[in-house]
Amino acid sequence: MTVTSNRAYNFNAGPSALPLEVLQKAQAELVDFKETGMSVMELSHRSATFEAVHNEAIARLRKLYDIPENYEVLFLQGGASLQFTMIPMNFLAQDQKASYIQTGAWSEKAFKEAKFFGTPVEAASTKANNYKNIPTVEEIQVEQNAAYVHLTSNNTIFGTQWKTFPTTGDVPLIADMSSDILSKKVDISNFAMIYAGAQKNLGPSGVTVVIIRKDFLEKANPNIPTMLKYDTHVANNSLYNTPPTFGIYMLGEVLKWVEEQGGVDTIEKRNEEKAKLIYDAIDQSNGFYYGHATEDSRSLMNITFRVADEALEKKFLAEAKEAGFVGLNGHRSVGGCRASAYNSVPVETCQALADFMVKFQQDNQ
């Protein structure tokens, strides 16, 4: 099996695949962006040329994701990991509680950071079965008068994803959507805040998108350091300090690519098609392969699975690597294999993996 056009079959969990068309455009513009005689990486973030890039990216995200006018859109730094701290710092007082739904490693880390500021309380957890599923609505117990409810919409390590989100009433709902943002339609109005690292579905690493409702923003603690206030970045259109200019440029180009594909509806259908190819190879293998996640919680973004025979699993990963597949090793806490089929991963790449899986099974039974 050869790699088409010398491009790897990239299943990395993040940083992950980017659209080839976007990479080629960035390559063409790298040295001289819009006849400025400079790379976009050399432009001042205060220049009109870069501000146009910045504002176009915000406008495209608003349009593609149907973000209402009563929400701010920010481009920050520090990844989702910094948001784990910024959120409780801004919205959780020492005498308050916040409800955290535990579905994997990243929600655990968010919970840990909240302890520095107030009292995080588990609203539900599936840790007991190694995070194989998403909690049911009946299992979720939101703390009375909670400052907010926090969840992780897709779990990269364990391969689970929320199909529908809980209704939290008057309690603000916050979602870490780092690994499935823009992969499907979402009703933004159900959330007080959404945040996501860009490096899986939106662009390269270095940019963190924050979508935050204005009335929720008004509840933020004003007595915290300037750089850690959301208000600071809202007031300065995310340009208070030097932003990751190249990352924002690339994010804008990826959003343009999503538009050209037909928008989020088309991307969602394509993601369902891609995931089905690989899940079918698992489900039709008669136990040769088996998934980590329960069927009702399976992620379209991160497909986690094992080969029933441990020795064959090592052989599978070795031969897959030789065949040009990259990033298929599962996380150490789950083991096995993981195929991350984010927005920019082509259908052909997922088909190639499904074909490889079927052939490997035929050759090794």
Tell me the catalytic residues.
106, 176, 200
8 Å CB contact between 293 and 299: yes
Strands 208-213 and 160-161: unpaired
Task: Look at residue 33 and give its three-state secondary structure.
Answer: coil
Task: Look at residue 332 and give its three-state secondary structure.
Answer: coil
DSSP 194: E
Partners of 303 in the beta sheet?
339
Q: Which residues does 353 contact at the CB level (< 8 Å), separation at least 6?
A: 9, 11, 277, 278, 281, 320, 325, 328, 339
Distance CA 66, CA 186 (A): 9
- What is the sign of the dihedral through the CA atoms of 151, 156, 159 and 161? positive
Distance CA 51, CA 163 (A): 37
What's the one-letter identity of residue 288?
A: F
8 Å CB contact between 177 and 194: yes
* Structure-block tokens of residue 123: 């609203």
Q: Which position has the token pair 């069927």?
A: 295
- Residue 196 CB: number of other CB atoms within 10 A? 26
DSSP 190: G
